[in-house]
Structure 1
Amino acid sequence: MDRPRIHRWLSAESYWAAGRPRTTQDAAIDASRNFGIFRTATGEQVAYARIVTDGVTFAWLCDVFVDSSVRGLGIGVALIDGVCAALEPHHLRRIMLATADAHGLYRKFGFEPLAAPERWMAKETQVTTGAA
């Protein structure tokens, strides 16, 4: 994985990780299953996603990013297809994600809004520099 590129994408170009410190991103990469798509000719990374999982029952799909130079070319579809294929043998009960703008992409892979959102809760905490 091209860590500097991933950090630049997420900290400077994403709405969900704006300003994320490099140390935080590196820790997140180290603690996750990482997926990337790379240009065949140059080896340049053009897309990234990561999974946080126990490998048995649950996974969280996050930090999905496709470089602006290749958006609209099916790279996002290929990335999510690869992630789902890699997780399929684990027979996970649930794979979760959050998105503000890519619902159509994820629906192609069976993702739907929560059936019972009232059962779910989140705790938002103050993020400190360097925290994972």
Structure 2
Amino acid sequence: MIDISTDKTRLDIKLIHEFLTETYWAKGRTLEEVKTSIEHCLCFGVYYENEQIGFARIATDYVVFAYLMDVFILPEYRGNGYAKQLMETVHKEPKLKSCHTWMLKTSDAHKLYHQFGYTELKHPEKVMERLLK
């Protein structure tokens, strides 16, 4: 049984940083950058026997828009449905109930996110981005 919490005081920042800095999407992110991103987002920690095993964060205005980022379950805990439980908890979060536009980027987890209603952009011609890296 896992516990999923938005209590930032429970987050293992070192673990989150160590995991993220090795991912394709956050490779090289500094500890200070991880701390700042957590400070400014709604975060979800996933815990097994009080040890953190997963994470997700949402950049949001709490009214219209929510952007899902940095979702992970540690490799040794995958295959147990924990990512699905995390996603269900994120989407049931009362603070986010009025957000009608959700977005994310992924290169390898489409199967997971499709289960929760995420699709390719309906109107990519309306979406723009500004990449500085």
TM-score strictly above 0.5:
yes
Counterpart among 19, 41, 51 of residue 44 in structure 1: 51
What does 1:51-70 align with in structure 2 at a 5 Å threshold?
51-70=58-77
Distance apart, 1:87 and its partner CA? 5.2
Structure 1 segments of 4 or more deviating over 4 A? Answer: none
The question of 1:111 aligning with 2:118 is answered yes
TM-fit CA distance, 1:69: 0.5
Q: How does 1:4-43 map to 2 (within 5 A)?
A: 4-12=14-22, 14-40=23-49, 43=50
More strand by share: 2
Determine the C-alpha separation between the residues in 2 that align with 1:37 and 1:26.
17
Q: Count residues in correspondence.
A: 123
Unaligned runs of 5+ in 1: 127-132
Query: Aligned partner of 1:80: which letter?
Result: M
- CA–CA separation in structure 2 for the residues paired with 1:81 and 1:98: 18
TM, length-normalised to structure 1: 0.89
The 3-state SS of whatever aligns with 2:93 is helix
Instruction: Report the Cα offset of residue 91 of structure 1.
Output: 1.9
In 2, Cα distance between equivalents of 1:49 and 1:61: 7
Query: What CA distance in whole angstroms lies between the structure 1 residues aligned with 2:95 and 2:41?
Result: 17
Alignment gaps of 5+ in structure 2: 1-10
Higher relative contact order (CA 8 A, sep 6+): 1
Assess, with a 3 A threshold, how the Cα gap between structure 1 residues 31 and 93 changes in structure 2: closer, same or farther.
same
Match of 1:2 in 2: 12
RMSD of Structure 2 on Structure 1 (CA):
1.2
Sequence identity percentage: 37
